[in-house]
Amino acid sequence: MASISMRPCGDFRTRYADDTTIFPDRAGRNWVIVGLALAAAAPLFLDAYWLELLIRIGYYGIAALGLNILVGFTGQISIGHAVFFGFGAFASGYLSREWAVPVWAAIPLAGAWTAAVGLIFGLPAARIKGLYLAIATLAAQFILEDFFARAEWFTGGVAGSMAAPFEVAGFALDTPERFFYLVLGYVVVLYLAATNIMRTRDGRALVAVRDHYLSAEIMGVNLTKYRVMSFGLSSFYAGIGGALYGHYLGFVSVEAFTILLSIQFLAMVIIGGLGSIMGTLMGTAFMVLLPEAMDGIARGIEGSPIYEALNLQVGLNFLKEMAIGAAIILFLIFEPDGLAHRWRQIKAYWKLYPFSY
Amino acid sequence: MKTTLLLSATCALALTSGLAAAQDKGVPIGHIADLTGATASIGKAYAEGVADALKYVNSTGGTKLAHETVDYAYDAPRAVATYRRWMSSLKPVAIQGWGTADTEALVDTVTKDQVPYFSASYSGALTDPNKKGPKSTKAAPYNFFYGPSYSDACRALAQWSAEDWKKKGGQGKPKWVHMGANHPYPNAPKVACSEYAQELGFDVAEPITYSMGPGDFTAQCLTLKELGVNYAYVANIAGSTTALLNACQTVGAKVQFVANVWGYDENVMKAAGQAADGVVVAVRTGSIWTDNNPGMETVRKISAMSDPSGKTYRQLSYITGICSAAYMAEAVDWAAKNGGITGPNIKQAMYQTANWVPKGLEGVCLPSTWTPDDHRGLLRVMIYQGKVTGPTDAKDVSTLMSDGTMSLNKVAEIELPRRAEWIGY
C-alpha cells in the first residue's frame, strides 16, 4: 500500500492478514464509522440544496473512483471517461424504459454493460501507451458522443430520454432525502470494493503495471490482461455512477457528456490525489463545491463595485469554468499528490506535534 | 500551511454559499435563461425583456412577482436540475422557460407538478394539451408560449414564399430546403413544414445541417447553389445566421432566406451588412423598436427599468420577452382574484380571454387565444423583410436603424387556418 501509517507504540501485528487491513488503526476506523453515522443522519438536518450537492458528490465520486483506478492505480490515461458515465446513464434509462427492468436491477446491469463497452475501447491499451492512448480514448469520447446523438432507439437522439425514478415495491426514491440513502449505500459498497481490489493480487498487479511495467512483465504479470481489465473496471464504476445520475435527474441528454466532463473527472482525480481512494472523494467534493462556493461569493457581493467591474451576472459562468482550470493548474504546481497527500501531511503534523520533521 | 489555509477558506466559503436567493417578497416565479450558452445572442435580450417586464409589473401595482433568474447556458440537464431544486426550495407557481430541449424534457414533470410553463420554445409538440392531434407526441396541458409555433411560423413563411414565387413570375416548381442544426429546436418544424411546403407545390430538398454556433458554412452555401434552391428556411439562431449569410454572399449563392423567429434581427443586419439585405423573417410581435404606438410607449417605459437613458436599441427578442411576461403576469392577477394563486388557476386564467392583449401593450402583443383543447395561442404571423442599403460597421444599431441604413419592413401578415390536424407537431 502506498500510505505510511504512523501507528502508536504497542500496536503491532502478529499475522499477515492484519498487515493488509483497510484501516491500520482503531481510531481511523472509528472516525469512519462516526462519519457514516453522520452521513446517514444528514437528511434530518440538511435541506434539499445540500443533499443535492452530496448526491452529486456521490455519483461523481463513484465515476471518479473508476477513473482513479485507471489513471492512478494502473497508470493509464483516459480522456473519454464522460461517455462511459453517459453510457451508464443511457443504458440504465433504456433498460428501465424499454425493457421494464426494475431500476434496482437496471443500475448494476447498466454498470456491467458499460464495463463491456469499456473493455472494447480499452483494447488499444494493449498496444499503446501514454499520449497515444490518450488520443485513442479521445476517439472513444467522440465515437460514443456521436452514437448518443444518433441512436434514437437507445438515447432518444439529440432530444434526450427520460429515466424512470427508482422504485421498490411502490416506494419511490424520487426526493433528495430518499435518493441520498441509495447513493450513500452505493458509495460505501463501491469504495470498499475498490479498496479491497487494491489489496488483492490483481490490485497489486495493477500497481505493478503502473510502477514499472517491464519488471511487472518479467515477474509474470500479463500486461494486456491487466490493462484491459483496468479499463473494464473503471467503466463499470463510471456506468454505475452514470446510472445513479440518470435516475436521479430523470432526464438524460447527450449534451451533458462532453469532453469538458471528461476533463472535470480528470481534475477530480488529480486534485484528490492519484492512487488514493479517499483522495478521490475529497477531489470530487472539491470540484462539486467550488462552483457553488463561487455562486455564494457572487451572491454575497451582489451590487458591490467588484460585482459590477467583473460583470458577474453574465461573467459568473465563465469565471466558474476558469476556476476549474485554475484549480487544476494550481494543484499540479503546488500539490501534485493532491488533497489526499495534504491530508496525510496534516495528520502527520498533529500526530508528531511538536516534533514535526 | 498556506495550502491548508487556502483549503479551509474554500470550505468555509462553500459552507456559507447555501443561502437562499429570493430576497424579494412576492409570488415566486422561476426564470430559466440562457445568458452565456449557445443561444445567448438572443437569450440575453429575451431574458432582459422578461426581467424588465416583471419589474415594471411590480412597480405599477398588481400582484407582486418575485422571480429568480437562473442561467443554465443552454444545457438541458442543468435546466432540469434547476427545476428539481426549485421544487423543494423556491416552489414557483409559474416558470418562464427558454429552450426546446429542456422544455420538452420537463413537459411531463410540469404536468405532474401542475406548474404553468411559459417557454421561449415554440415547438409544435407543446401545442396539444390533450394529445388529440393525429401527429401529437405528448400531452402538454401546462405548456404555454406567446407567439406562433415554429411549425406555424414556418408554414406562414412557406405560404409567403409561394406567393413571392408567383409574384416574381417563377416558372415550374420552386425548391425549398430546411437548414438547421441537429438539435430539438431547429428540428421542431422540419416535418410539419416540409409537408405544407409540398402541399403548396414546392420541391422539397434534403435538409442541410449547419451548426448553431458561428462557423465556416461555405460547404452548405455551395450545396444551396448546386441544388438551385430558391427558398431556404433558416432554423438556427441569429449568431449562426450571420456566418451563413456572409458565407453565402462570398460563394455567390442567390437564395431567398426565410428565417425563423429567432434567426434574424437587427443585430444580424448590422453584423452581416449587405449580406443580410432581403432576408425575410417571421416576427412574433405587432411592432418593432422603431415603431410608435401606445403599446410601444409602455415598452419604452419597461425598457427604462434597466436603461433609464432610453438609448439602448431593443431587438425583436426583447419585445417578445415582454409579451411573454405580461401574459403570465395578467394570468397571475386573474388567479389572485379567482380562487388563489395556484398552478391550475393560472392555467385557467389563460383560457379566460379570447383575442387577449395585455393591458397597455396594444399593437405590440398580438391578440392571442388559448383554449383548454388548443394551446396554439397565435396563428397570425407577421412577415418582415430586412433592408440594408449601406455599410453597417461604423455606427451602432440604434443609429443605423434611425438613419435608414437598416430597416425592417412588414411585407405580409399571414393568418393561418386553425386546422385540427396541424396541432401538436
Name the residue with cell 412577415. B383
Name the residue with cell 387556418. B417
pLDDT band, very low/low/confident/very high, at B269 (cuts 50, 70, 90): very high
At A326 the three-state DSSP class reads: helix
Q: B182–A149: do the CB atoms touch at under 8 Å? A: yes
Quick one: how far is CA B131 from the chain centroid?
23
Dist CA A282 CA B11 (whole Å):
11
Asked if B77 has any chain A CB less than 8 Å from its own CB, the reply is: yes
For residue A182, the model assigns a pLDDT of 95
Name the residue with cell 413544414. B193
pLDDT band, very low/low/confident/very high, at A350 (cuts 50, 70, 90): confident
Whether pLDDT at B402 is above 70: yes
For residue B258, the model assigns a pLDDT of 96
Q: A342–B7: do the CB atoms touch at under 8 Å? A: yes
Contact of A241 with A88, CB cutoff 8 Å: yes
Contact of B229 with B258, CB cutoff 8 Å: no
Assigned domain for B366 exists: no
Mean of the per-residue pLDDT values of chain B: 90
**Average pLDDT of span B399-425:** 92
Biggest alpha carbon distance in chain B?
A: 81
Asked if B108 has any chain A CB less than 8 Å from its own CB, the reply is: yes
C-alpha cell recorded at residue B61:
401595482
Please give the backbone phi and psi of residue B85, each rounded to the nearest 5 degrees, phi first: -65, -40
Chain A contact probe: residue of B13, B19, B91, B112 with most A CBs at under 10 A: B13
Whether pLDDT at B14 is above 50: no
C-alpha cell recorded at residue A93:
434509462
Q: A159–B35: do the CB atoms touch at under 8 Å? A: no
Tell me how many degrees the CA angle A19-A22-A26 measures, rounded to the nearest 5: 85
Assigned domain for B45 exists: no
Dist CA A133 CA A231 (whole Å):
12
CATH number, domain of B282, equals: 3.40.50.2300
Assigned domain for B346 exists: no
Q: How confident is the model over A165-209, as pLDDT tens digits?
A: 888 877 888 888 899 999 999 999 999 999 999 999 999 999 999
Whether pLDDT at B17 is above 50: no
Whether pLDDT at A111 is above 90: yes
Four-CA torsion A325, A327, A332, A335, nearest 10 degrees: 180
Quick one: how far is CA A290 from the chain centroid?
16
For residue B6, the model assigns a pLDDT of 52
Which residues on A lie below 8 Å from B71 (Cβ)?
314, 316-317
Asked if A174 has any chain B CB less than 8 Å from its own CB, the reply is: no
Q: How confident is the model over B207-263, as pLDDT tens digits?
A: 999 998 888 999 999 999 999 999 999 999 998 999 999 999 999 989 999 999 999
Q: How confident is the model over B324-343, as pLDDT tens digits?
A: 999 999 999 999 999 999 99
C-alpha cell recorded at residue A203:
490490485
For residue B20, the model assigns a pLDDT of 39
Residues 6+ apart with CB under 8 A from B419: none
Element (H, E) at A281: helix A277-300
Tell me how many degrees the CA angle A150-B197-B215 measures, rounded to the nearest 5: 45
Q: Which of A47, A158, A289 lies at the smallest CB-CB distance from B14?
A: A289
At B66 the three-state DSSP class reads: strand
Distance from the Cα of B15 to chain A's closest Cα (Å) equals: 8
Neighbours of B306 (CB within 10 A): 12
Asked if B9 has any chain A CB less than 8 Å from its own CB, the reply is: no
Distance from the Cα of A280 to chain B's closest Cα (Å) equals: 16
For residue B22, the model assigns a pLDDT of 42
Assigned domain for B60 exists: no
For residue A283, the model assigns a pLDDT of 96
The phi-psi region of residue A28 (left if phi > 0; otherwise alpha if psi is between -120 and 50; otherwise beta) is: alpha
Whether pLDDT at A25 is above 80: no
Dist CA A311 CA A305 (whole Å):
10
Which residues on A lie below 8 Å from B77 (Cβ)?
249, 251-253, 255-256
For residue B5, the model assigns a pLDDT of 55
For residue A38, the model assigns a pLDDT of 95
Q: How confident is the model over B89-112, as pLDDT tens digits?
A: 889 999 999 999 899 999 989 999
The number of distinct structural domains making up chain B is 1
Asked if A316 has any chain B CB less than 8 Å from its own CB, the reply is: yes
Asked if A50 has any chain B CB less than 8 Å from its own CB, the reply is: yes
Quick one: how far is CA B61 from the chain centroid?
27
Name the residue with cell 482503531. A26
Assigned domain for B370 exists: no
Nearest residue to B320 (alpha-carbon basis) of B47, B56, B60: B47
Assigned domain for B199 exists: yes
Assigned domain for B222 exists: yes
Complex confidence, ipTM: 0.78
Dist CA B97 CA A212 (whole Å):
55
Which residues on A lie below 8 Å from B80 (Cβ)?
249-251
Asked if B85 has any chain A CB less than 8 Å from its own CB, the reply is: yes
Q: How confident is the model over A39-48, as pLDDT tens digits?
A: 999 999 998 8
Neighbours of A128 (CB within 10 A): 12
Residue B268's domain spans which residues? 150-288+380-422
For residue A194, the model assigns a pLDDT of 96
Assigned domain for B1 exists: no
